[in-house]
Amino acid sequence: GGTSRDDLAQQAAGKSGEFAAVATAADDVALLGPTSGTTGVPKITMHFHRDILANADTFARYILEPTKDDVFAGSPPLAFTFGLGGLVVFPFRFGASSLLTERATPVQLAEQSHAAGATILFTAPTAYRAILKNGKADLLRPLRVAVSAGEHLPADTWHQVREATGLELVNGIGSTEMLHVFVSAAGKDIKPGTTGKAIPGFRATVLDAEGNEAAANEPGRLAVIGPTGCRYLNDPRQRNYVESGWNITGDIFSRDEDGFFTYQARSDNMIVSSGYNIGGPEVEQALDQHPDVLENAVVARPDPNRGSIVCAFVVLVEGAEADEAKTKELQDFVKATIAPYKYPREIRFVTELPRNPSGKLQHFKLREAFNGSPVA
């Protein structure tokens, strides 16, 4: 804590630490959750007592189907609502156990989870890929459920994990504003490459620029409504998030005829280059398939001729040479994997990518590199 009078630790120091129990209503505020700052300045979300039960009685109950014999483990910190749900609320609600780890690497997380007999694991797609690339897939086999969230889960990663472990990754999207996951699928309902369907208790759709529901397979803004919802603490951005009763998450999705949602990009990570719309995640997915790429992130770099160009920040596996030949090799690989016009015209080799404490990539920090700020 700091030393100023408005510092929280300083204010708390003058209090007795004794509290009188107060009768609370279901719609009284129970917690304040800061957003991860993916887009810049974090916002403070407010959640009611009933909301905390709601995320356990929707996503956990219907997708994870926990029992008292389950052991939950994962990478997200408890200070993030994803970790709060997966490692505190869900185990409490269903009488299960939880393994708490301190900022473990993906391989350390797999080792510690395996040693503790974990049955449900939460971590990002990048972590599953790292566990596989390090030859540690066997550590995941005893899991009952493996959940992927925080980033888009490519179909390739889903198939690689199933081939190496037998596990069918449960994909999902949630947000701090909605408290936890609201679109997902498990078991026979999984359609690799899609995020899933609106889970019981929630409705979701895709809206066009005018706020109307988009046609099937047309990209648009993901909108959701359910027992939880966005309530920012004194923040004018509330108006951007809630529109005609829908919570607008800031993600571009499409929805097929069967109600399955497919991720396209964050609305701020759709790259417009020479009039073409290029989804950053699609380029990232193509680069991930190259054996020398450990992880990567793709953003738009301003360009006077094309408006923007695709710029990839790439972390190579140990032993791979970061040189001009590797740049051309990766560019040609992307051209051959997806449409040639989507290839990264610029590749920057880095030793690590900026992530928040829950492991989520911070693309905005990479964009700041174009203004002279350091990447990590």
* Tokens standing for residue 246: 């829908």
Instruction: Give the right CATH number for 29-265 from 3.20.20.70, 3.40.309.10, 3.40.50.12780, 3.20.20.80.
Output: 3.40.50.12780
Q: What pLDDT is stored for residue 235 in this prediction?
A: 92
Q: Among 211, 216, 129, which Cα is nearest to 164's?
A: 129
- Evaluate if residue 70 carries a pLDDT over 90: yes
Class of domain 274-371: alpha beta
325-364: burial string, b at 16+ Cβ within 10 Å, e else: ebbeebbebbeebbeeebbbeebbbbeebbbbebbbbbbb
- Evaluate if residue 1 carries a pLDDT over 60: no
Q: What pLDDT is stored for residue 10 in this prediction?
A: 81
Q: What is the mean pLDDT of residues 219-248?
A: 93
Q: What is the mean pLDDT of residues 237-256?
A: 92
Q: What pLDDT is stored for residue 373 in this prediction?
A: 53
Separation of alpha carbons 61 and 200, rounded Å: 9
Q: What percent of the chain lies above the pLDDT cut of 70?
A: 95
Distances (CA, A) of 169 to 71, 123, 137: 17, 10, 13
121-152 residue pLDDT tens:
999 888 898 899 899 999 999 999 999 977 77
Cβ neighbours of residue 207 closer than 8 Å, sequence gap 6 or more: 213, 214, 220, 221, 223, 243, 246, 248
Distances (CA, A) of 11 to 18, 39, 206, 345: 15, 30, 45, 52
Q: What is the mean pLDDT of residues 338-348?
A: 92
Q: What pLDDT is stored for residue 376 in this prediction?
A: 46
Separation of alpha carbons 283 and 277, rounded Å: 12
Mean of the per-residue pLDDT values of the chain: 90
Q: What is the mean pLDDT of residues 322-326?
A: 95
Beta bridge partners of 253: 220, 263
Q: What are phi and psi of 349, to 5 degrees?
A: -85, 130
**Identity (one letter) of the amino acid at 201?**
G
Separation of alpha carbons 187 and 145, rounded Å: 10
Q: What pLDDT is stored for residue 214 in this prediction?
A: 93
Q: What pLDDT is stored for residue 262 in this prediction?
A: 93
Annotated domain spans of the chain: 29-265, 274-371
The alpha carbon of residue 150 and the mean position of all alpha carbons in its chain are separated, in whole angstroms, by 1
CA triple 19-25-28, angle to 5 deg: 80
* Range of weakest confidence among 30-44, 101-115, 241-255: 30-44
Q: What pLDDT is stored for residue 3 in this prediction?
A: 67
* Tokens standing for residue 290: 């190259």
* Range of weakest confidence among 150-159, 308-317, 330-339: 150-159
Which of the four pLDDT bands, split at 50, 70 and 90, describes residue 372? low
* Range of weakest confidence among 47-56, 74-83, 106-115: 74-83
Q: What are phi and psi of 266, to 5 degrees?
A: -65, 145
Report how far apart the first and last C-alpha atoms of the chain are (Å, whole number): 24
Tell me which residue has tokens 């009488």.
Answer: 95
Separation of alpha carbons 27 and 11, rounded Å: 27
Tell me which residue has tokens 């889960």.
Answer: 153
* Range of weakest confidence among 31-40, 81-90, 95-104, 138-147: 31-40
* Tokens standing for residue 201: 């208790």
Distances (CA, A) of 37 to 159, 176, 222: 31, 11, 19
Which of the four pLDDT bands, split at 50, 70 and 90, describes residue 68? very high
